[in-house]
Amino acid sequence: MKKAVVTDATLRMCDYAGCTLGFKEKIEIVKNLDRLCIDVIETAPLLNGKSDVLFLHTIAPLVKKCVISCAVPLDDALVDLSCQAIKKAVNPRLNIIAPVSTVQMEYHCHRKPAAVLEKIAALTAKIRQEGIETEVSFADATRAEHEFLISAVKCAVDSGAQIITLCDSAGMMLPGEMSDFINRVKADIPELDNVLLSVECADELHMAPACAIACIRSGVGQIKTAIGVHGLLGLREFSDVLKAKGDALGITASFNRTACSSIISAIESIISGKIPTAQEKVSAVISDDDWKLTSADDMAAIGEAVKKLGYELSAEDLGNVYNEFQRIAVKKELGAKDLDAIVATVAMQVPPTYSLKSFVINSGNIITSMAHVVLLKNGEEVQGFSMGDGPIDAAFLSIENIVGRHFELDDFQITAVTEGREAVGSGIVRLRSNGKLYSGKGISTDVIGASIRAYVDALNKICYEENN
């Protein structure tokens, strides 16, 4: 039988999810996990200063068998503080969280790849010099560039890391894909035979239990779980799999499976109602007139905000929107129009059915506005003429004349993205077709040109979806 080391990351995940647990509630969770004989109890980074340090000092004498692991970001000061705070634990560990995908490196820790490698090496060596067991968790590892991921893992191992965790932070991997990913990394890094290999599987597709089993069968020795927190493999679900199929698979774990259900229920009762839902998060920061979204908002909250705007996005498009949102949100708070522009820019990008070749607009205060628009459809010119209430209305009606259909114009925005007389205009157009919302974005030195390009961009999304 192969024994899997089980880490419970409930306290870390609760902190990430904005759970408002009190000091006594956290202590009670630790006591329950210790009763459960879980292998590792992982806590959140010490971002709240003295209160977090006091929490570690309090649980140190309470936990005799479990490893107490404290998560730390790539920050020298927090590593120093964490080293001192956790030393009194019987079995202390620090878990360095190192982002390795391009998005996470640039927008979460604001470092280039070379700087991330340098920081991993320095902090791992510093913790090892303190005599503390060291884990390095590679956030978003499954979406990292493979060559860089290999370099990062080797860097951590060479610097003294004893546990390496590979994270499917997006939760988009299927069991077979996760197994192939682990096998490929192991083949490229023979040094992993000398460390404890670990995985952290998000549960977006509800496949985390199957992915965890696939990883164990591929040689992984540690699994990250959580209780009552969305976004990570649930300990209850993992226990159920072991109960049903553990013997047949030759996999076991050391936690008390007999008491598992009652203890998990006790922890769930502590957490229940403490973690805001995605809708509650959105409601807390967004009103109809005053949207305030920040980099602290997770993908679920952004998904609800996007739905509030009226869009129905695929998982891939929502991921693209969230990544672009995080890129901008590190610099400023975002409102409804900002999020709308992001959706128009990165979501539902499709091969164009139509492209703008030319347009002529006649407009003035004593004549009716007229537009002549020429589009290319599959390489062939198609053109439309129309009059309208202003140049942009005439242009949009000309496009409808070409397509032979009328679309409900849900919203239209035009803004200057540069200053001066040569300012570049950015247009956002929201069209509704068969009850569904589509947005397009266009940029031009001419506000009318930007508007037409935005309309065509939205039109292309409608055509693609209706023809596929």
Show pLDDT as tens, one digit a residue, over the chain (468 residues): 899 999 999 999 987 766 778 899 999 999 999 999 999 999 999 988 888 999 999 999 899 889 999 999 999 999 999 999 999 999 999 999 999 987 677 656 667 889 999 999 999 999 999 999 999 999 989 989 999 999 999 999 999 999 999 999 888 899 999 999 999 999 999 999 999 999 999 998 899 999 999 999 999 999 999 999 888 999 999 999 999 999 999 999 999 988 899 999 999 999 987 766 555 554 444 444 456 788 778 888 888 888 887 777 777 788 888 887 887 787 777 887 778 778 777 777 778 889 899 999 988 777 888 999 999 987 889 999 988 888 888 899 999 989 888 888 877 877 755 444 444 567 888 888 877 888 888 877 677 888 898 899 899 989 888 886
Q: CB 331: neighbour CB atoms within 10 A? A: 9
Residues 6+ apart with CB under 8 A from 48: none
* 3-state SS, one letter per residue, for 145-163: CHHHHHHHHHHHHHCCCCE
Q: Are residues 117 and 256 in the same domain?
A: yes
Gap between the Cα atoms of 386 and 3, Å rounded: 73
Q: Which of 302, 317, 346 is the last residue of a domain?
A: 346
The enclosing domain of 397 has a CATH number of 3.30.160.270
Number of other residues whose CB lies within 10 A of the CB of residue 298: 16
3-state per-residue secondary structure call for 190-221: HHHHHCEEEEEECCCCCCHHHHHHHHHHCCCC
* Statement to judge: residues 234 and 291 lie in one domain: no
* Residue 318 shares a structural domain with residue 439: no
Q: Tell me which residue of 352, 343, 348, 356 sits closest to 413, measured CA to CA.
A: 343
Q: Write down the residue that tokens 């839902």 correspond to.
A: 277
Task: Pull the structure tokens for residue 63.
Answer: 């936990």
Shared domain check, 260 and 113: yes
Task: Give the count of domains, the chain.
Answer: 3
Domain assignment of residue 77, given as a range: 2-271
What is the SS3 assignment for 442?
Answer: strand
Rounded CA separation 105/199 (Å): 19
Buried b (16+ CB within 10 A) or exposed e, 357-367: eebebebeeee
Residues 135 and 164 in one domain: yes
End position of a domain, from candidates 346, 371, 392: 346
299 and 334, same domain (yes or no):
yes
Phi, psi (5° rounding) for residue 410?
Answer: -75, -35
Global confidence as pTM:
0.64
Shared domain check, 361 and 313? no
Q: What is the spatial distance between Cα 5 and Cα 273, in angstroms, rounded to a whole number?
A: 30
Q: Which of 210, 207, 200 is nearest to 249 (CA)?
A: 210
Residues 71 and 164 in one domain: yes
Residues 223 and 288 in one domain: no
Domain boundary among 271, 289, 309: 271
- pLDDT on residue 176: 96
CATH, residue 170: 3.20.20.70
Do 155 and 282 belong to one domain?
no
- 43-17-106-163 Cα dihedral, nearest 10 degrees: 30
Asked whether the beta carbons of 136 and 163 are under 8 A apart, the reply is yes
Residues near 408 by beta carbon (within 8 Å), at least 6 away in sequence: 431, 432, 433
User: CA–CA distance from 60 to each of 43, 54, 92, 192 (Å)?
Assistant: 12, 10, 9, 30
216 in the same domain as 298:
no
Helix (H, G, I), strand (E, B) or coil at 291: strand
**SS3 state of residue 436:** strand
Token duo for residue 460: 């292309």
Per-residue b or e along 1-23, where b marks 16 or more CB atoms closer than 10 Å to that residue's CB: eeebbbbbbbbbbbbbbbbebee
Mode of pairing for the β-strands spanning 196-201 and 408-416: unpaired
Domain shared by 105 and 160, yes or no = yes
pLDDT at site 288: 47
